[in-house]
Structure 1
Amino acid sequence: MAKQYTKNLIKREFLKLLEEENFNNITIAMLAERCEISRNTFYYHYEDIYMLVREILRDELEKVDEEFNETFSWEESLLHAVSFLLKNKKAAQNLFRSIDKKEIDSYLYKICESVMSRYVDNECQSKTIDAKEYDKRLVTDFYRAALVGLLDKWIQDGMKESPDKVIFRIGKLFDGNIERSLRISENLDEA
């Protein structure tokens, strides 16, 4: 219990520091002082700051999976999934400007994959659509790629505008396309 408390304290204070400092300026000594722990305590829990970052992102991805609500539209699900970024805008910007682009893309990929694959599966189940697995994968991959691109652009542009405006607009522009694609799959030959 104390171990989890300390890890949560380190994560929380790290995110607060990211609101104030550039990622590259944050040291383990600075973080340990802020948490009122020793550097050794930090190293007991994490190998380095990058391991801490990976765990924070992994925790957020787990929350996305745990909190998936099948009554949400894909738009609502995606907004819920990026709520961590919205709540921690400055920290996310500092972090994403400083870590490897592959890490950012991997994080965005996993968020969008989780949202779209669950949404596509739920669409098939709730509307009794017998889409082929190959086609479900194609639909998921298509929307995931588009959404990763949009989120990446939003982050690159400084996360200034609220993503809900764009996401819901896209939802309206493409309304019904996912269901339509899955229904077409029912009548296609196997790939």
Structure 2
Amino acid sequence: MAEDMKKEIAEAARVLLIEKGVKKLTVKDIVEECHITRQTFYYYFENIPELFRWILERKTEELMKEEHGGNDEEADLRYFFLMAINARGGLKKVMASNYKDELEALLKRHICKMFEQIIEDKNLYQDCSRFQLKWIVRYHCSALLGILEDWTDEDTKNLDRIVHEIYLLMMGKVSP
């Protein structure tokens, strides 16, 4: 039941930001959209950034549960790019809201955590210190966000090649 109400609140925020183009999202807007009280909203979420964090975590969980390559890291990376490309329109609208700074920081932290998990799961960069790993993760995260921010239709046409080159870089390899 609690999960259902959280999903309903999240859907109301999505509708307001993406479909209705609200620039200044408020708790009042959300509770009116999903016909609940402010008290109900605050029972489930401390604030709107906490709601966004919850949404991001759920979407990542869904992404990881789906069949999209298994042990094929390059296929997983391609899948991630496809998901990001498909979410770009909605993400741009969300980033135009009054929560832009919080959302950018949250997204960056979340992608960094994903890279940390991949590095740990795949035992990558075994010869690096913790300090070096921290910078490698930040580098990959910033590079990926930069690439996605400036993504073009031409990039979409070259997706397979881009994914392959990024995969090789992430694995510490150079293409022939």
Q: TM-score, normalised by structure 1?
A: 0.64
Asked if the contact 1:13/1:34 (under 8 Å) is kept, the reply is yes
* Alignment correspondent of 2:161: 169
Q: Please say if 1:146 is aligned against 2:140.
A: yes
Letter in 2 for 1:111: M
Q: Give the whole-Å Cα distance in 2 for the aligned partners of 1:104 and 1:162.
A: 25
More deviation in 169-178 or 85-94?
169-178
Letter in 1 for 2:126: E
Cα RMSD of the aligned pairs, angstroms, is: 3.7
Task: Tell me: CA distance 1:49–1:20, structure 2 relative to 1, closer, same or farther (3 Å).
Answer: same
* Alignment correspondent of 2:15: 16
Measure how far apart 1:45 and its partner are: 0.7
* Alignment correspondent of 1:124: none
Task: Tell me: CA distance 1:41–1:132, structure 2 relative to 1, closer, same or farther (3 Å).
Answer: closer
* Alignment correspondent of 2:115: 112
Structure 1: tracts of 5 or more residues without a match: 122-130, 182-191
Pick one of 83, 101, 106 that aligns with 1:103. 106
Residue identity over aligned pairs, in percent, reads 20
Return the index of the structure with the highest Cα Rg.
Answer: 1
Q: Give the whole-Å Cα distance in 1 for the aligned partners of 2:128 and 2:57.
A: 28
Task: Tell me: CA distance 1:41–1:171, structure 2 relative to 1, closer, same or farther (3 Å).
Answer: closer
Asked if the contact 1:154/1:163 (under 8 Å) is kept, the reply is no
Asked if the contact 1:108/1:148 (under 8 Å) is kept, the reply is no
* Alignment correspondent of 2:91: 92
Q: Give the whole-Å Cα distance in 1 for the aligned partners of 2:146 and 2:95.
A: 10
Q: How many residues align?
A: 167
Measure how far apart 1:104 and its partner are: 2.9
Asked if the contact 1:78/1:112 (under 8 Å) is kept, the reply is no
Measure how far apart 1:89 and its partner are: 2.7
* Alignment correspondent of 2:71: 71
